Amino acid sequence: MIKATAKLILALNGNVKKSQIASGMAWGVVLGLIPAGSIFWIVIFIITFFFKHNHWSKLFSMAVLKILSPLIIFHVDSFGWFVLHFEALKPLFTTMYNMPFVPFTKFNNTLVMGGLAGGAVLWLPSFIIFMLLIPLYRNYAAPFIRNSRIVKAIGKSPLLKLFEKYLNN
């Protein structure tokens, strides 16, 4: 998590396109909502490598959502229950459950379905929100943080040299 955070900070302060960072954060939201043991999580994680985005921002936002999961799991579960009990989709889910291998995806689990549907619904709004937040960070927060006494003191410490060595490996 430390390396992902450091690489994200470098990307935010560097020359990385804001769309790539925002896309990575949005993919992290999707992956953070889906339980990590499900086949959907593995498939989506592999699919994300076919898109151009910042992978460190994906790992960072996924880790943050996994840490916050006890606070949001009730909502994900409720949304999954709502989707699975949506009357118009019941024939589709019945057909899917009777197909070979599809039940192994655990799509009928409320947490898996809630994470999958919630991630699909939240990808675009989270992308737009991060697209709006990144310029705010770059224009206002980054110069303030860069000029703070704490950051200047940390910049002079020998501990930073060790941390830079760790990041470059």
Distance, CA of 56 to CA of 17 (rounded, Å) = 13
- Of the listed ranges 63-67, 107-111, 127-131, 164-168, the one predicted with least confidence: 164-168
3-state secondary structure 57-123: HHHHHHHHHHHCHHHHHHHHHHHHHHHHCCHHHHHHHHHHHCCCCHHHHCCCCHHHHHHHHHHHHHH
Question: How much is the pTM?
Answer: 0.82
Domain parsing of the chain, residue ranges: 2-138
Q: pLDDT of 88-125, one tens digit each?
A: 999 999 999 999 888 888 888 999 999 999 999 999 99
Q: Is the pLDDT of residue 159 over 80?
A: no
CA 166 to chain centre: 24
Helices 2-13/55-67 angle, 10° precision: 130
Nearest residue to 109 (alpha-carbon basis) of 66, 62, 73: 73
Q: What is the mean pLDDT of the chain?
A: 87
